Amino acid sequence: MFETQLTRALKIQYPIFQAPMAGGVSTPELVAAVSNAGGLGNLGGGYLTPEQLRSDIQEIRQQTDQPFGVNLFVPEQSEESEEAIFQMTDYLNKYRDELGTAQNPMILKSSESFEEQVQVLLEERVSIFSFTFGIPSQDMIQTIKQHGIFVIGTATTVDEAKQLEVGGVDAIVAQGSEAGGHRGTFLKDASHALIGTMAIVPQIVDHVSIPVIAAGGIMDGRGLAASLLLGADAVQMGTAFLACPESGAHETYKQKILSTNEDSTQITRAYSGKAARGIETKFMIDMHQYRGTIPAYPIQNAMTRDIRQAAAKANSPEYMSLWAGQGLRLANNQPAASIVKQTIDEASILVQRLPTIGTADNK
């Protein structure tokens, strides 16, 4: 049941992707557990150095012989004036003071290079590659595909999906505004690309001829069944897996996921300079008062890194980035394999009941 063009192409049993979650959340254990359960585990490799990426891929392989995907961030060039950086450093010092960490730290340019990361995927013969935040050059996509790798892009509007299809991808993640984590928007300002999953999935399905994966607010079998009815070939679930034992999320973050409701998330640029949805924190609220310019991604991300790390060490969620989607109240801390199984079991029952929906039998 639930075999689609995409599950056949990827050689997976169920149309359930565990979302790649960079920053240590999608651990090799989580990826392998989902793939072993018949879904598609995805490693969020965006922040990993080439060496870390290779080692995580090898760790996944030790734990599963099933297909899995690796996700990277398409790099963006951002410049910021010295004044904006100086002002932000000064502003952030009050948190450093509170957390007992050094003032005016050196901001390290990230050491990961997209080309080197991609080279690792080619060398390691990863079979599925997904990306977000943009679109790699057509040459790079072709090189990756020539290595037999299935390529998946991320879109938040129909125009982005069409551009990805022209760029040569094999499938598209349609990311609705409910989604936790960073917005994949790359053609316009993220505030103009906040289309809900229910609305964006069928519109993208209508305008491209490749498989679409629905993402954003999908937490269980109801979300899976609904997405398939909207024309998706699979779902990508992030928040649903955040609190499970195999997830690498910090314990305090997991507790927040399990105790916070659907009305408690906001989209913010405060932590990274790029729009992302997370549980509202004091840091996010404070930043509304900031009168200067928030530096663009990835500069702001690098500038807040020491604060987020110190906050995690101190178990202080108000200064951590608690990325999460709007399906929060449906999250649980079951093992990843149970989440996959329950989602499939529930969707199977719903689909069998479909002929009776809207009739008196549908109780």
Ligand X SMILES: Cc1cc2nc3c(=O)[nH]c(=O)nc-3n(C[C@H](O)[C@H](O)[C@H](O)COP(=O)(O)O)c2cc1C
Q: Is 291 exposed, middle or buried (0-12, 13-18, 19+ CB in 10 A)?
A: exposed
Q: How far is the CB of 306 from ligand X (least distance, A)?
A: 20
From the list 8-16, 21-29, 306-314, 346-354, the region that binds ligand X by CB under 6 A is 21-29
Residue placing its CB nearer to ligand X in the complex, 88 or 160: 160
Report the alpha-carbon distance of residue 311 to residue 92 in Å, rounded.
Answer: 13
Residue placing its CB nearer to ligand X in the complex, 185 or 236: 236
Q: How far is the CB of 60 from ligand X (least distance, A)?
A: 15
Q: How many CB atoms lie within 10 A of CB 363?
A: 6
Residue placing its CB nearer to ligand X in the complex, 25 or 210: 25
Report the alpha-carbon distance of residue 262 to residue 331 in Å, rounded.
Answer: 10
Contact between 297 and ligand X per CB under 6 A? no
Contact between 228 and ligand X per CB under 6 A? no
Contact between 71 and ligand X per CB under 6 A? yes
Question: 56-71 as b/e, with b when 16 or more CB fall inside 10 Å?
Answer: bbeebeebbebebbbb
Report the half-sphere exposure of 145 (CA within 13 A, side-chain side).
15
Contact between 317 and ligand X per CB under 6 A? no
Contact between 28 and ligand X per CB under 6 A? no
DSSP string, 219-255: -SHHHHHHHHHTT-SEEEESHHHHTSTT----HHHHH
Cα dihedral 234, 70, 279, 260 sign: positive
Q: Minimal CA–CA distance to 234: which of 257, 218, 252? A: 218
Number of chain positions touching ligand X (CB under 6 A): 28
| Coil, helix or strand at residue 130 | strand
Q: How far is the CB of 43 from ligand X (least distance, A)?
A: 9
Q: Is 268 exposed, middle or buried (0-12, 13-18, 19+ CB in 10 A)?
A: buried
Among 323, 331, 340, 347, binds ligand X (CB under 6 A): 323
Residue placing its CB nearer to ligand X in the complex, 34 or 218: 218
Q: How far is the CB of 104 from ligand X (least distance, A)?
A: 29
The residues, ordered by sequence, that sit 6+ positions from 283 with a Cβ below 8 Å of its Cβ are 95, 270, 271, 307, 318, 319
Contact between 134 and ligand X per CB under 6 A? no
From the list 142-150, 215-223, 261-269, 350-358, the region that binds ligand X by CB under 6 A is 215-223
Contact between 316 and ligand X per CB under 6 A? no
Report the alpha-carbon distance of residue 363 to residue 357 in Å, rounded.
Answer: 9
Residue placing its CB nearer to ligand X in the complex, 88 or 236: 236
Query: Residue holding tokens 């390290």?
Result: 108
Among 134, 181, 202, 317, binds ligand X (CB under 6 A): 181
Among 31, 40, 164, 215, binds ligand X (CB under 6 A): 215
Residue placing its CB nearer to ligand X in the complex, 69 or 88: 69
Among 170, 178, 220, 233, binds ligand X (CB under 6 A): 178
Residues that bind ligand X (CB under 6 A): 19-22, 25, 44, 46, 71, 132, 154, 175, 178-181, 215-218, 236-240, 323-325, 327
